[in-house]
Amino acid sequence: MSNSEFDTILVVDDTPTNLAVLSEALTAANYQVAVALDGETALEQVSYKPPHLILLDVMMPGIDGFETCRQLKANPDTADIPIIFMTALSDTVDKVKGLNLGAVDYITKPFQQEEVLARVNVHLQLYHLNHKLEAQVNERTAQLSEALESLREAQLQLIQNEKMSSLGQVVAGVAHEIKNPVNFIHGNLIHARGYITDLLALLTLYENCMPDVNPQVKTFAEDIDIEFLREDLPKLVDSMAVGANRIHGIIQSLKTFSSSGDDQFSDVNLHAGLDSTLLILSNRLKAKSCRPQVQVRKYYGELPLIDCCGGQLNQVFTTILSNALDALDNCAVDRGEDWQPYIEIETSVMGEMAVIEIRNNGGAIPPEIREHLFDSCVIRKPQGLGTGMGLPISHDIITQTHGGRLTCEVEGDRVGFIIEIPMQPDLTPPSREVQAASR
């Protein structure tokens, strides 16, 4: 509560005798005492050294105690200093006026020393208690705000993880449904090519052994352009085989993306993760009315398998590539006809880090936004276009879960995100601790 050795009391009275009596009593009680002979001097003293409590005479020359009190309470810096009026007035109206102005109490003249000290002590205790409660409330409010922000981040992370998990399940289901018929087509094309080759060989043998063809057969052969069929049919089968192989490759990419949809750490091919993410976003790369097709330039280096959470890294790749496509779409209206939108992906090894750089020419990010790209309290996307939490979540995945770094670099109209993942991380990611505890 109150500690009189550190409490300063300002006594304001135009009568020197009253100042002397009060100063002596308060000093004897170990209070630090300051004095002022009028309201103007009191206001000046309070402005540079605020006391903990003010004893204020009502009747003074110049501005009286009521006006002095009003000015003190009107100033936010001095409004909470408790004021006790000192007066010989016994009129209830005057007392009510002072209390309405913000005074906390009255002391009547002539002074009773014990009464003065008792009232001063009570109001100083209340003053310090109020400040202590305010500090506790502010601290608790800050803790609650931090807890709410953490909860909000956790909820958004769960939502994002659920989205990725659901997407992985859908992709896995599509890949599974397509896989069997494609394998059937792919497998049968091998036999179909052999059958067609045999049939064409048989047709050639018939023509060589029976040069005199029935007119009806000859007419039908001309109608179906047998020479063209003989030449084109093998090409048609080869084209079907190429298409089936392409679909088979897409299925493998879809399986790579979906099989990485959990939070388990394992040896991951980051190039396969990038390619599968590009496949998922391939429809957004196509030309639009506002821009040409987005070129994807890959500069893949020699990366080993990385011990990491493939599903979460795919989430990071998806966020950064999606944001790049948003930027390319948004800036397209300001570019000329010769403008070519592109995304560059470069991978390399630097020291103990696997580095993935994803760049685009979608225009610079203003410095005031760049400073808060990874702050969870800043919403960067308009309503309906996402939570704006993709980059903060990605930053946590890279830095907290994997012990890496995620940074943004801007050069002209090029924006690049650099992901650095330890190939042999020194720290134990939180998700690994969870895995170990669950075994």
Delimit the domains of the chain by residue range.
4-111, 152-259, 261-439
Per residue in 386-402, pLDDT (tens digit) is: 445 678 888 888 998 88
d(CA 17, CA 224): 131
* Mean pLDDT within 45-72: 89
Q: Which DSSP letter does residue 292 get?
A: -
Confidence (pLDDT) at 388: 58
User: Is 295's pLDDT higher than 80?
Assistant: yes
207 half-sphere exposure, CB direction, 13 A CA radius: 12
Residue % of the chain over a pLDDT of 70: 83
Instruction: Out of 46-60, 100-114, 349-363, pick the least confident.
Output: 100-114
By mean pLDDT, which of 73-87, 196-210, 274-288, 423-437 is the weakest?
Answer: 423-437
Output the CATH code of domain 4-111: 3.40.50.2300
| Residue-averaged pLDDT of the chain | 81
DSSP state, residue 72: H
Q: Under CATH, which number does the domain 261-439 receive?
A: 3.30.565.10
Check whether 174 has a pLDDT greater than 80: no
- Answer whether residue 403 shows pLDDT above 60: yes
pTM of the predicted model, to two decimals? 0.51
Q: For residues 380 and 385, what is the distance between their CA atoms, to the nearest angstrom?
A: 10
| pLDDT confidence tier of residue 162, bands split at 50, 70 and 90 | low
Tell me what pLDDT residue 432 has. Answer: 45
Distant-in-sequence, close-in-space partners of 435: CB < 8 Å, separation ≥ 6? 264, 265
Q: What is the mean pLDDT of residues 146-150?
A: 78
Three-class SS of residue 359?
A: strand
Contact criterion met (CB below 8 Å) for 295 and 340: yes
Q: Is 274 helix (H, G, I), strand (E, B) or coil?
A: helix
Percent of the chain exceeding pLDDT 90 equals: 18
Please tell me which residue, 316 or 255, carries the higher pLDDT value: 316
pLDDT at 417: 95
Hey, what amino acid is at 224? I
Q: Roughly what angle, to the nearest 10 degrees, separates helices 65-74 and 92-101?
A: 20
Alpha helices in 210-288, H assignment, sequence order: 215-223, 226-259, 270-280, 282-285
> Which pLDDT does position 147 carry in this prediction?
81
